[in-house]
Amino acid sequence: MTGQHIVYLHGFASSSQSEKAVLVRDYFQQHLPQHRLSVPDLPYTPAEAWQELQALCTEQPPVLIIGSSLGGFLATALAEQFGCRAVLINPAVRPHLLLQQHLGRYYHPVRAQHYEVRAEHLPVLESLQVQQLLQPSQYLVLLQSGDEVLDYRQALDFYQQCLTDVQEGGDHSYQNLQSRLADIVNFGQLA
């Protein structure tokens, strides 16, 4: 039997080498090696990132997408398109508004290249904004109220019909994610 396809999407200015990505990859290698886990290093221009994700998910449609921060935003758009489950970790809700404050030049450590966040990238993100979730029961939203980057209440409001779990305290990195990996697998119906 061929395993299922699961995708993990990192956040803005992050990579496949982030602590969360490594935790998820290690967990799947140890507990669910029969499944295919994709952890792409996304380009930082939204159009290129979306194009790569379309190709990845069209090649083998995922049954579960796990996304953190900006990756949670992209996971929502993909889950709506492909009709799969999604687990969102401190997801960005309106990144086109948030990133207006972060225009400028950055360095991607894994791709070893500089990139620039420009105003013309923001309409692409806005165009990917899901207005209404078709199947709210397909989402598990993990939030920590101490998120210093995103206001968790925006996600709580947008995903109010979904299964949400708010932990007091914590931070944007989502402290103790390892303790939630079994819940993520169970929600994804992978075990």
| pLDDT, tens only, 90-136 | 999 988 877 788 788 877 776 677 888 788 988 999 999 999 999 99
Mean pLDDT of 61-88: 97
Which element (helix H / strand E) includes 8?
strand 5-9
Domain 5-187 has CATH 3.40.50.1820: yes
Q: What is the spatial distance between Cα 15 and Cα 20, in angstroms, rounded to a whole number?
A: 10
pLDDT band at 1 (very low <50, low <70, confident <90, very high): very low
| Angle, CA of 16, 19 and 25, to the nearest 5° | 60
The answer, as to whether pTM is greater than 0.75, is yes
Q: What is the spatial distance between Cα 136 and Cα 159, in angstroms, rounded to a whole number?
A: 8
**Domain coordinates of the chain in residue numbers?**
5-187
> Would you say residue 2 has pLDDT above 70?
no
Output phi, psi for 17, to 5 deg: -100, 5
